[in-house]
Amino acid sequence: MGYLALTGGIGGAKLAVGLARILAAEEIAFLVNTGDDFEHLGLHISPDMDTLTYTLAGLSNAEAGWGRKDESWHFMAALDELGGETWFRLGDRDLALHVTRTGMLRQGVTLTQATRRIAATLGVRQPIIPMSDDPVRTQVHTASGPMAFQHYFVRDRCQPAVTGFEFAGAGNARPSPDLAVHLEGCEGIIICPSNPFVSVDPILAVPGLKEALKASGVPLVAVSPIVGGRAVKGPTAKMMGELGMPATAGQVAEHYAGLIDGFILDERDAALDGALAMPTRVAQSLMVTLEDREGLAAQALDFIRTLNGGST
């Protein structure tokens, strides 16, 4: 009973809101990328989980796509005066979440448990599950060597050309114990329109995780993060170009080949409908309004129902 959605940053969080609004809280759970987690200023920071948590709590800064709304920056200004590192912006209110989570982790609380407590305190009723309680750290390979993900993504604004990716620690990571709980009786799995290389692949790199998804036997569908040859947001298309791939929705479907049972294309890519080696669904996938988010979520659920043998 219910659905599981794999998600990374802002694009994923948008669809997550849609799913959260059209399903009961016990019908949806989110499995979140922690490959972009990092230690900064002595704090454990989980950017993708924070984006989702704030979004579902109604506290997110929708314009920026990260952090909290109604934020202030006095800590950052004082840190700058003290000569501290300011390339990763931590708002005064946001800081409280990082301090709270870091304190829990130091006391031996797992990331799964810490996330559950924080989400509950902020009034989020849908389960938010980190992909793993073990550290996995995405490294972006570039011509000038490997870079920690946040250095690539935030400090260097995705400017270096990528040559590949590595998920350090993934070999020894285990899926969050909450994953099995939510796969029990699951009706379908959705890969949100997140970056395949740095949001979704780290999740799939956790040994046993992909196998657990497949073993559930339910339809697994992905929503294309590429629309009309461009990424809606973020470096997906730029990365595909640098990796020598065409930046097309079809290429993303191929990236997930063997894992997914169906692919959701944007209307702008309707020409690909029926042209891929898997079932496709054409949908309005640009999520500008709340209705867009709900509409795409409904399309994803309906697509899963169809794949489950139901009628459209």
Which residues here bind its own copies, judged by CB under 8 A? 41-43, 68, 71-72, 74-79, 81-84, 91-97, 99-100, 102-103, 106, 118, 121-122
Residue 273, Cβ neighbours under 10 Å: how many? 14
Q: How far apart are CA 265 and CA 280, in angstroms?
A: 7
Using alpha carbons, list the distances in angstroms from residue 23 to 42, 56, 99, 186, 266. 38, 13, 32, 13, 22
Closer to its own copies by Cβ: residue 107 or 312: 107
Q: How far apart are CA 215 and CA 307, in angstroms?
A: 16
Closer to its own copies by Cβ: residue 71 or 156: 71
Scanning the structure block, which residue is given the tokens 């659905």?
A: 3
Strand 188-191 to 220-223 pairing: parallel
Closer to its own copies by Cβ: residue 27 or 92: 92
Both tokens of 113, joined, read 């448990």
Closer to its own copies by Cβ: residue 120 or 275: 120
Helices (H), the chain: 10-22, 47-56, 74-81, 92-106, 111-121, 149-150, 177-183, 201-204, 209-215, 236-242, 249-255, 290-307
Closer to its own copies by Cβ: residue 22 or 41: 41
Residue type, 16: A
Least Å distance, CB 118 to its own copies, is 7
Least Å distance, CB 101 to its own copies, is 9
Closer to its own copies by Cβ: residue 95 or 278: 95
Closer to its own copies by Cβ: residue 88 or 214: 88
Residues ≥6 apart with Cβ < 8 Å to 13: 7, 51, 52, 55, 56, 60
Tell which residue, 40, 168, 147, has the closest CA to residue 98. 40
Residue type, 187: E
Q: H or E stretch including 283?
A: strand 280-283
Query: What is the DSSP-derived secondary structure letter of residue 161?
Result: P
Closer to its own copies by Cβ: residue 112 or 195: 112
Cβ–Cβ under 8 Å, residues 112 and 176? yes
Least Å distance, CB 120 to its own copies, is 10
